[in-house]
Amino acid sequence: MVNPLPLIRPDWPAPAKVHACVTTRAGGMSPPPYDSLNLGAHVGDGEAEVAGNRARLRAVLPSEPVWLDQVHGIAVAEADTASGVPTADAAVARHAERVCAVLTADCLPVLFCDEAGTVVAAAHAGWRGLAAGVLEATVARMGVPPASVLAWLGPAIGPHAFEVGGEVRAAFLADDPAAAAAFAPGRGRDKWMADLFALARRRLARIGVLRVHGGGLCTHTDAARFYSYRRDGVTGRFASMVWLGR
């Protein structure tokens, strides 16, 4: 079957039974400003359009993704036993063809697997969740040694576009003073340019996850492929997904 959707495949050395992909904004049926493959049901797009877009995605997946009610926290759902829409910002799966998924439009999606191909996970890491420990919580729930974990950093707002206030920088430095290296002076008083990719790598390295890939796709600058809340305000959401094959 020819894949009708323009999907991005992670550039990581995952085991053969681990499958992952990221949607772009192309290939769907939503009108502007959600054009066109909006997968978020909470952003003001029509219910029929979102359902149609999800059906198009489902056609190229082994099962319906375990969609989450994301709240910028650190809760991790068990995708194997989940029902409905769990309130969580990450999901873990050990059963074949259970698709872990997170929706983003500037926040950082992080996909995980272990080197043996026994467990996968997906996490939604905006700056609040990242500072609170969502990546650490996800790796802990995977239940394997952190040294055996591979991670891939998906498309997110890049360091030249993500200006934050001093309180964001302070939140990271309170736990890790060396995280100052991930911030550059911004354009205004007490404003800073934050590097979500660097912050994620630091936090993963501190718990022993050293094989981290990706981190080069900026949602803010690539309007043709990605939604960006910071750029557009009212906009759609794209999905980052990972699952185990049979």
Whichever domain contains 235, its CATH number is 3.60.140.10
- Residue 3's pLDDT is 45
Per the CB < 8 A criterion, the answer to whether 187 and 163 are in contact is yes
In-domain check, residue 13:
no
* CA pair distance 240, 10, nearest whole angstrom: 10
Show Cβ contacts of residue 104 under 8 Å, excluding neighbours closer than 6 positions. 124, 154, 155, 156, 219, 237, 238, 240
Three-state SS for 50?
helix
Quote the number of domains for the chain: 1
And the tokens for 240? Answer: 């980052």
In-domain check, residue 1:
no
- Could you list the residue range(s) of the whole structural domain that residue 27 is in? 18-244
pLDDT band at 2 (very low <50, low <70, confident <90, very high): very low
* CA pair distance 218, 62, nearest whole angstrom: 28
In-domain check, residue 9:
no
In-domain check, residue 2:
no
| Neighbour-count burial of 33, counting CB atoms closer than 10 A to its CB (0-12 exposed, 13-18 middle, 19+ buried) | middle
State the pTM of this model: 0.96
- Asked if residue 212 has pLDDT above 80, the reply is yes
In-domain check, residue 172:
yes
Tell me the per-residue pLDDT of 61-119, one tens digit each, with 9 for 90 and over.
999 999 999 999 999 999 999 999 999 999 999 999 999 999 999 999 999 999 999 99
Specify the higher pLDDT residue, 188 or 54: 54
Tell me the per-residue pLDDT of 112-133, one tens digit each, with 9 for 90 and over.
999 999 999 999 999 999 999 9
Three-state SS for 123?
strand
* CA pair distance 237, 12, nearest whole angstrom: 23
In-domain check, residue 144:
yes
Q: What is the DSSP letter of 156?
A: B
In-domain check, residue 3:
no
* CA pair distance 128, 236, nearest whole angstrom: 20
- Asked if residue 38 has pLDDT above 70, the reply is yes
In-domain check, residue 7:
no
